[in-house]
Structure 1
Amino acid sequence: MKYLNLALLILFPVAWFAPLLRAALLPIFGMDEISVITGLQSLWGSDPAFALLVTFLAIFAPFAKTLGLALIHFGLLSPKTLPALHILGKLAMAEVFLIALYLIIAKGAGYVTIETGWGLYLFTVCIIVSLFISHKTETS
């Protein structure tokens, strides 16, 4: 379990830079790839307060939880911190919900073409595996 958790410390940053979706106003103009990082860059330019919240949910929460679980697995952090790590995990899952919501809204706009990218699946799998590891750590 601890090595699967360590793999997440590598896979989360890959998922942040991987294309979550490709979007275009009209498909004939080509598609722009959007990742967690490029989305955050756009947000920081237009709405810094919301960008700070999304940065916490998309970057900090899942990575801090994964790092905390790794420290517990290797005996460097007390298992008493598991409730706090569980809360971080719930906040990280909120990011997957936000992305799904954005996809639904964007697909409803008639002139926008949206295609999901492999990064959306990787990011979702990372969060789900992190939840599984957290659950297994709590029960052992």
Structure 2
Amino acid sequence: MTLRYLNLALLIAFPIAWFAPLMHAGINLPLFGLKEVSVVSGLQALWETDVILALLVTFFAVFAPILKVLGLALIQFGMMRRRMLPAFNVLGKLAMADVFLIALYIVIVKGVGLAKIETGWGLYLFTACVLTSIVLSFATAKRQKA
């Protein structure tokens, strides 16, 4: 029963993570402030410059996690067969790919030294949501086998 509620809580936590600051970025010069970058603000910027990449990131960061949570909820409440669980596990891994890309961008930009990047609390929240979703999938699979 607790697994169900934790999973449903992700329906609230994911949207918060999308608007939370993933990072603070700016030019590596004094007097210039840092701009907060969130999943939503990053997607808005991508839609203006690269539509294909924007579609991919939108799927990885927004649709994959929510579809996984909803699918897992349907399985947990007995409204969908358990054999669909592996498909939803793939969605969780796709969302984790988005976290990896964000972390990779931060490392690359910090390495170049032209910009200043500070990790925001939203990156940790988004990562925690994705990892929680993956753990809940495994726990649901084990519970339903027993």
TM-score (norm 1): 0.97
Structure 2: give runs of 5+ residues left out of the alignment: none
Q: How many residues align?
A: 140
**Against the structure 1 CA distance between its residues 96 and 27, is the aligned structure 2 distance closer, same or farther, given a 3 Å change threshold?**
farther
For 2:14 and 2:87, how far apart are their aligned partners in 1? 20
Taking only the aligned residue pairs, the percentage that are identical comes to 61
In 2: Cα distance, 1:65 partner to 1:50 partner: 21
Query: Structure 1: 5+ residue runs without aligned partners?
Result: none
Moved over 6 A (4+): none
User: Does the residue aligned with 2:113 lie in a helix, a strand or coil?
Assistant: coil
1:63 maps to amino acid? I
Tell me which moved more, 18-27 or 119-128: 18-27
Displacement of 1:67 after TM fit? Answer: 0.9
Does the C-alpha gap of structure 1 residues 28 and 124 become closer, same or farther in structure 2, counting only changes over 3 Å?
same
Report if the CA contact (8 A) 1:27-1:113 is conserved: no
Query: TM-score if structure 2 supplies the norm length?
Result: 0.93
The answer as to whether partners of 1:15 and 1:122 remain within 8 angstroms in 2 is yes
> How far 1:109 sits from its partner (Å)?
2.2
**Paired letter, 1:110:** G
Residue 36 of structure 2 aligns to a residue whose secondary structure is strand
CA distance in 1, matches of 2:130, 2:45: 23
Q: Which amino acid aligns with 1:7?
A: A
Does structure 1 residue 94 correspond to structure 2 residue 97?
A: yes
- Matched with 2:77 is 74
Instruction: Render the CA deviation track for 1:76-125: whole Å, top value 9, x for unaligned.
Output: 11112101101111111101100110001110122211111110000000
Deviation at residue 27 of structure 1 after TM alignment: 4.5
Distance in 1 of aligned mates of 2:125 and 2:43: 18
